[in-house]
Amino acid sequence: MAVTIALAGNPNAGKTTLFNQLTGSNQYVGNWPGVTVEKKEGKLKGHKDIVIADLPGIYSLSPYTLEEVVARNYLINNRPNAILNIVDGTNLERNLYLSTQLKELGVPVIMAINMMDVVTKNGDVLNLEALGKAMGCKVISISALRNQGIDELISVAVAEANSGAVPAIEHRFSENVEKALSEIQSKISGEVPEALARFFAIKLFERDDKIRNELPEKAKNVDVESIISGIEKEEDDDAESIITNERYKYIQSIISSAYEKRGKTGLTTSDKIDSIVTNRFIALPLFALIMFAVYYISISTVGTKMTDWVNDVLFGSDPWSFFGLVDLPSIPGAVTSLLESMNVNEALQGLVIDGIVAGLGAVLGFLPQMLTFFLFLAFLEGCGYMARVAFIMDRVFRKFGLSGKSFIPMLIGTGCGVPGVMGSRTVENERDRRMTIMTTTFIPCSAKLPVIGLLAGALFNNSAWVGWSAYFLGVCAIVFSGIVLKKTKMFAGQPAPFVMELPAYHLPRPIDILKSMAERGMSFVKKAGTVILLATILVWFLSRFNFQMQYLPEDDMDTSILAAFGNAFTWLFAPLGWGKWKAVVAALTGLIAKENVVGTFGTLFHYQGAEELAESGDQIWAQVREYFGNGIAGYSFLAFNLLCAPCFAAIGAIKREMNNGRWTMFAIGWECFLAYCVSLVIYQIGGLIAGVVSFNFFTIVAIALILIGIWGLFRPYKEADTLSEKEERAVERAMA
């Protein structure tokens, strides 16, 4: 029979690092049944019958967040054989709060004190034996990052899991609280498992309605209010605060007997760095500078050199030399030679070379830039800086009606919009959560990086400011949406509070950075091999056949099915500066997957003047440059694709999280409307200043949009706009 060991601990305590150490590649990731919180399980290395379950990072077993509900339900209902409680040794008091609750579940608990190397380095002393005696469990010192103490930890955990013993609870509350708990426990005795009776009694004392609903019918209906009210009157405090205070009294007694702080009492290295990084005046400019550097290296220097090699050599037209030893054909050249040797007909050759190879090549050509970007992003996340960014952005977001918690999904969304949207579940306030869902995909995800790279290279000489400005254009769209929408009745109200524990700065392991980069890169490659491949085949077919199903020559695409479809919408996008059917089609195929924008251009531009392009070495870049004509139109196209509705997968995630068709349509409608307005203003006003647009009706519209936007930003926020409970239900009914 399989043995299950659950990993539980605070966020940033090192739980994920330990999980990776214990399971290696024997892990599988999904979602917990019925919710979008990530579920990780894996087999312990060298043990086929021992399962390690990595629970979401939580601060307590109180149901304040979805993660806490998921973790608590798993521990109560699934009853693992043992719990490995990962504790950050540098922040003992905060971490032990969860430990005291885990001990009440009637499951063997093994405490893994992580980051002990940092505790020792600081000169502090933690008496593990005294800590274990006070907590009534085994305590092991480890360093998950340096793989120290892991073998001993597993040996103890496996032994405890196989013992089947119900651990004793060392901690007792004050006499009058214990008396009340005993009375409650007697009322539910026989209705709940004996090992969980004390845990349920404490939760009933705290008036935890979610736990009450989990109890059997008879236990659910027990009347304990008179017991609780009596203690509240004695203590002159509410029940939940009484339990919280009792826990912290106990924790303080443990720390005073087991922990001795001998190190310097002044600022730590992390504190000194934070005095600059989180400074009220320096924080945001520093963040902007760091992101500029990331985009500069990814798009303008290192990433571009590798991308140029992939585009101009690997997917070019001429053979290339392998370290001067042998000449090798390019991928299109090799495929062409193979097809010609097989006497494949012209249409099939066009499908493979002009459709599949050209389309996928245009997308995969930007993979080096993306991998470089992912590498830096993984480092910023791993060293602890991105946690500070969330703290910094809380100051900004709260001024505009959002909590700093809303930045976490947006941060996740830099990799992919789907988990970013799913991450909105950490926002408790329903109105804030909906706004977070609506605005998360404004941040450029990995799928949008090829679009940024293509236009930066074709129109702006690979300038880093294009990528940087694209990122902050997304941030500005979020801020603008937050200010304007928060002043409407649907979203009015105070943002939810944001509490976050900042981890100490540390150098992440190179293997973890590379693994994060590889996972994101592989996700992109898989999409290229499925969704984008099908889209490029469809684009090629529609661009090379007319309605009579006649195969068209290379220079006659303007009579194709795709051209007719694109021309039907050119009038809509002409005021934006790119009212040409190829650009329109590229933007529309981007709704399937944003990478399709580049893939579509690769298919449509590949075979026009291929020989001349091969000589210049620019491939499709020269045609894209000529097609848009000027940078204003190109940036307008970029802005629209960055801000408009996300890919189909992200729209599906929005539908699941909103759980309401009308709210979903409102979210998509707002994104498309804002994208169109921003793109219109960029082209009309920017073009007027640059001299590429003459004053016209749409210039007046653009000026009017700017004035309306300014009015929306600065109009007074009326507290009266906050919905009453009755009005909120009315809005819900209207949107249902």
**436 marked ligand binding residue:** no
Distance (Å, rounded) from C-alpha 143 to C-alpha 13?
A: 11
Mean pLDDT of 719-733: 44
Is residue 728's pLDDT more than 50?
A: no
Q: What pLDDT does residue 473 have?
A: 87
Q: What pLDDT does residue 365 have?
A: 65
Q: What pLDDT does residue 554 have?
A: 64
3-state secondary structure of 112: strand
**55 marked ligand binding residue:** yes
C-alpha pair distances (Å), 170 with each of 131, 167, 249 = 12, 9, 14
The residues facing 328 across adjacent strands are 320
Among residues 68, 71, 4, which one has the least CA distance to residue 42?
4
Q: What pLDDT does residue 489 have?
A: 74
C-alpha pair distances (Å), 235 with each of 127, 205, 223, 515 = 34, 14, 20, 52
Distance (Å, rounded) from C-alpha 313 to C-alpha 617?
A: 9
Whether the Cβ atoms of residue 332 and residue 357 lie closer than 8 Å to each other:
yes
Q: What pLDDT does residue 618 have?
A: 47
Q: What pLDDT does residue 678 have?
A: 92
3-state secondary structure of 39: strand
Question: Which of 189-203, 588-602, 655-669 has the least mean pLDDT?
Answer: 588-602
Specify the higher pLDDT residue, 262 or 224. 224
What's the whole-model pTM score?
Answer: 0.59
3-state secondary structure of 261: coil
Query: Which position has the token pair 């590649």?
Result: 25
Q: What pLDDT does residue 36 have?
A: 45
Residue 113 sits at φ, ψ, to 5 deg, of -85, 105
Question: Which of 25-39, 73-87, 414-428, 610-624 has the least mean pLDDT?
Answer: 610-624
Question: Which of 105-114, 281-290, 365-374, 434-443 has the least mean pLDDT?
Answer: 365-374
Among residues 644, 632, 645, 646, which one has the least CA distance to residue 578?
632
Among residues 543, 535, 582, which one has the least CA distance to residue 562?
543
Tokens at residue 23, please?
């399971």
**555 marked ligand binding residue:** no
Whether the Cβ atoms of residue 95 and residue 88 lie closer than 8 Å to each other:
yes
3-state secondary structure of 82: strand
Whether the Cβ atoms of residue 539 and residue 585 lie closer than 8 Å to each other:
yes
Question: Which of 79-93, 185-199, 394-408, 603-617 has the least mean pLDDT?
Answer: 603-617
Q: What confidence tier does 486 reach under pLDDT thresholds 50, 70, 90?
A: confident
**1 marked ligand binding residue:** no
Residue type, 135: M
**16 marked ligand binding residue:** yes
**600 marked ligand binding residue:** no
Interacting residues of 609 by C-beta distance below 8 A, sequence separation 6+: 623
Q: What pLDDT does residue 37 have?
A: 58
**152 marked ligand binding residue:** no
Mean pLDDT of 569-585: 86
**36 marked ligand binding residue:** yes
Is residue 272's pLDDT more than 70?
A: yes
Q: How many Cβ atoms sit within 10 Å of the Cβ of residue 470?
A: 25
Distance (Å, rounded) from C-alpha 139 to C-alpha 132?
A: 5
Check for a shared fold between 3-163 and 175-260: no
Distance (Å, rounded) from C-alpha 376 to C-alpha 293?
A: 10
The residues facing 457 across adjacent strands are none
**546 marked ligand binding residue:** no
**48 marked ligand binding residue:** no
Q: What pLDDT does residue 535 have?
A: 72
> Left, alpha or beta for 493 (phi > 0: left; psi -120 to 50: alpha)?
left
Specify the higher pLDDT residue, 619 or 223. 223
pLDDT tens digits along 315-356:
666 666 666 566 676 677 777 777 777 777 666 776 676 667
**38 marked ligand binding residue:** yes
The helix (run of H) or strand (run of E) holding residue 672 is helix 661-690
Tokens at residue 430, please?
């329903």
Mean pLDDT of 636-658: 82
Distance (Å, rounded) from C-alpha 197 to C-alpha 104?
A: 9
Whether the Cβ atoms of residue 178 and residue 83 lie closer than 8 Å to each other:
no
**488 marked ligand binding residue:** no
Angle at 442 between CA 455 and CA 282, to 5 degrees: 90
**11 marked ligand binding residue:** yes
Is residue 660's pLDDT more than 90?
A: no
Is residue 70's pLDDT more than 90?
A: no
Q: What pLDDT does residue 148 have?
A: 81
Half-sphere exposure of 473 toward its Cβ, with a 13 Å CA cutoff? Answer: 23
**596 marked ligand binding residue:** no
- Burial (0-12, 13-18, 19+ Cβ within 10 Å), 509: middle
Specify the higher pLDDT residue, 606 or 91. 91
3-state secondary structure of 645: coil
**230 marked ligand binding residue:** no
3-state secondary structure of 42: strand
Interacting residues of 398 by C-beta distance below 8 A, sequence separation 6+: 404, 495, 498
CATH number of 3-163: 3.40.50.300
Q: What pLDDT does residue 677 have?
A: 93
- Domain extent listing, the chain: 3-163, 175-260, 419-494+560-735
Mean pLDDT of 26-52: 69
**117 marked ligand binding residue:** yes
Architecture of domain 175-260: Orthogonal Bundle (1.10)
Q: What pLDDT does residue 29 have?
A: 58
Whether the Cβ atoms of residue 27 and residue 19 lie closer than 8 Å to each other:
yes
Q: How many Cβ atoms sit within 10 Å of the Cβ of residue 571?
A: 10
C-alpha pair distances (Å), 615 with each of 7, 350, 357, 358 = 59, 21, 19, 17
The helix (run of H) or strand (run of E) holding residue 8 is strand 3-9
Distance (Å, rounded) from C-alpha 298 to C-alpha 287?
A: 16
Whether the Cβ atoms of residue 713 and residue 483 lie closer than 8 Å to each other:
yes
**70 marked ligand binding residue:** no
Mean pLDDT of 611-619: 39
Q: What confidence tier does 385 reach under pLDDT thresholds 50, 70, 90?
A: confident
Q: What pLDDT does residue 732 have?
A: 45
**20 marked ligand binding residue:** yes
Q: What pLDDT does residue 317 have?
A: 60
Radius of gyration of the chain (CA): 30
**316 marked ligand binding residue:** no
Q: What is the DSSP letter of 171?
A: -
Q: What confidence tier does 239 reach under pLDDT thresholds 50, 70, 90?
A: confident
> Left, alpha or beta for 263 (phi > 0: left; psi -120 to 50: alpha)?
beta
| DSSP-derived secondary structure for 448-494 | GHHHHHHHHHHHSTT-HHHHHHHHHHHHHHHHHHHHHHHTSTTT-SP
Query: Which position has the token pair 């190190």?
Result: 263
**77 marked ligand binding residue:** no
What is the C-alpha end-to-end distance of the chain, expressed in Å? 47
Angle at 353 between CA 350 and CA 359, to 5 degrees: 110
**12 marked ligand binding residue:** yes
pLDDT tens digits along 307-324:
667 766 666 666 666 665
The residues facing 99 across adjacent strands are none
pLDDT tens digits along 544-555:
777 877 777 766
Question: To the nearest 5 percent, what fractions of the chain are helix, strand and coil?
Answer: 65, 10, 30
3-state secondary structure of 62: coil
Q: Mean pLDDT for the chain?
A: 77
Distance (Å, rounded) from C-alpha 734 to C-alpha 731?
A: 5
Residue type, 556: D
Tokens at residue 460, please?
């702006």
Mean pLDDT of 14-39: 67
| DSSP-derived secondary structure for 290-339 | HHHHHHIIIIISHHHHHHHHIIIIITSSS-EEETTTEEE--HHHHHHHHH
Q: What pLDDT does residue 734 have?
A: 42
Mean pLDDT of 440-463: 79
**266 marked ligand binding residue:** no
